[in-house]
Structure 1
Amino acid sequence: MRADSSMRADRPPRKPPFAASRRTTLALAALALTATAALLTWALALRGGGGDHGTTPDGAPGRSDLERRVDGYTARFGADTGYLPPTRSDRRGVARAVGLLLDGHRAEAAERLDALDFDLRTVTDSATGRRYAEISDRTDAGPSPRGWGRVYLDLSAPVRWSVQVPHPIADARTEQLGVGVLRGTPGGVLVLAGAHRDAGTGDAADVAHRRDTVFAAVCAELAGRGLPGIQIHGFADDTAPDYDVIASTGRATHHSRTDARALASALRARDFTVCRAWVRSCPLEGRTNEQGRNAAEEDSPFLHVEFANAVRTDRREAARAVAAVNVVTARWSKRTPEPGATD
């Protein structure tokens, strides 16, 4: 029979009674430190947005999947969420900071943004390896976000064009299309609205139809520099059942026609049916779009593009749509900046 181990002659002397208590205390302390570290990591990720760990303070590149990051940010948007209309000073301040960043004055841009409770961070997109400057509203991580949006500027090439997403979530998956377009061609800027179009009071957060928003101010800064822009929208399939895409130049001048034709050709080459607003009457032509009106005033190229729900919600279809848009953005990326624009 096997001897009871407690009777073995070589058993070490019994430790004093307090040893077990000490081990328990140390284990609890280690557990508490681990929990504290986890909470701090979660808080930092939340402050960066989207629960993604790939954002870093100004000047230090981090790695982040840009689409996941934007998804995490916009997932909180809803028609019943609040929206705080910005003052004229707020709008101008953010737009001026974007201009400073474009002109290479990063430190000054960061200082101005900090005074407006915005962060300037560097994000390296893990899908492409491209670095972006991210301008984000700190209040979005708190209980009462202002809803003023985000801006992503490509740091890998001189900025030459913009893609604008005025109705994320409300126009389902337009934010993903915007990220795809930004990724597809170097030298872009993504301007993303910060709230559902029905948030706040009345149409205060419907940035495509107002000029008193941070979104409009940033787009105006870009148009004033002669940077062409494409604005992404979505429509219900039964709104225009014969078409996959509605393409328009809004109220922009004839300078946009060449780009519009190139876009329509690229879409049709990928088997999309396109209603071309410069050829025939189409629904949702964007004639009242404020960013289009501002671009016309600045004589800056502008395209207003509506995608059917069936295109936006099918990843393969969406990828083909993005590839078509990138035919135009690739043209824009090679253009010489207008006078006043600075690399």
Structure 2
Amino acid sequence: MSLPQSAAAVRHDPARRDFTSDNCSGAHPEIMSALHLANGGHQQAYGADSYTLHLTDTFRNHFGPEAEVFPVFNGTGANIVALQAVTSRWGAVICAEQAHLDEDEGGGPEQVAGLKLLAVPSEDGKMCPAAIERATAQASDVHSAQPLTLSLAQATELGTCYTPEEIRTLTACAHAHGLTVHMDGARLANAAVALDVPLSACTTDAGVDILSFGGTKNGLLFGDCVVVLAPSRVSGMPYLRKRSAQLASKMRFLSVQFEALLDGDLWQRNAGHANAMAQRLRRNLHGIEAVTVSRPVQANSVFATIPAAARARLADRYTLYLNDEAQGELRLTCSWDTTEEDVDAFSVEAAAAAGAARIAN
């Protein structure tokens, strides 16, 4: 069935591809189809619709029989709502020094939730139990914000993945110190596919208490979910979502996207394809002189150092995300719709730019 005409115009080049973020891609056709299916007639607002009511079963199939799901608009909103639900106002949240919470959410956790973030050292984005031990030991009296929550990112901001065993070790350490465990799962699907494990292996089965589950980066038009995995450790979710401006009135359009993503294998297909394209990009860049893949490639991001002159030439055709200016390190992220041709074209341009920069020098 053809869609009706619109007064809007195409204002971008549909053939353009960039590697700055998996937020740059459009929505998967199956997601757009699901939205169209949900668009007929009237449904009750604020989550009382048929699609949202079905969503609990969808998430319990992946995360266990106690899982409770709360759709929200975006990942920052999911993190802020989740952290408020498990952290008292006098509390602090331990996170990795590169955590999205600390570096990329505009102070939202502090401003909206009123929480102190304790960023601790990590290796390739992954924390170790010793860092948790030090953070809790330093908060010895009333003059310190009290660590009450540990927040992990899976995959991490540096593209690495915790194994289920590593997560279990961290959650055991956190729980031993009375901390609740939150996971920022903006790219959880990518991590689970990379590790070849179900979504529950890195979350429910590993001791995570509350999860921010990403959809936008894995083919959705918009939307993420807060998933409560341990209800006894969480309180006030419906009210916190509302007061944090994350309660959608037409929630069916959030929920039907997650049904399309999770009731079948779309989440695996999208994440698996993005991961595979990242591995292809890693292999291509590995053979270019003066270009170094600088971090392990485990999910859908490749970190590579490229000389400044070569980056300047690449910037004529691509928007670039500079992760570390001092090292000249780019983050290159693949999406569900990245093709082999996209990867190879970028690699050819990178090789030509690096070669031209050498000649110029």
TM-score of the aligned structures, taking structure 1 as reference length: 0.26
Q: TM-score normalized by structure 2?
A: 0.25
Larger relative contact order, structure 1 or 2 (CA cutoff 8 Å, min sep 6): 2
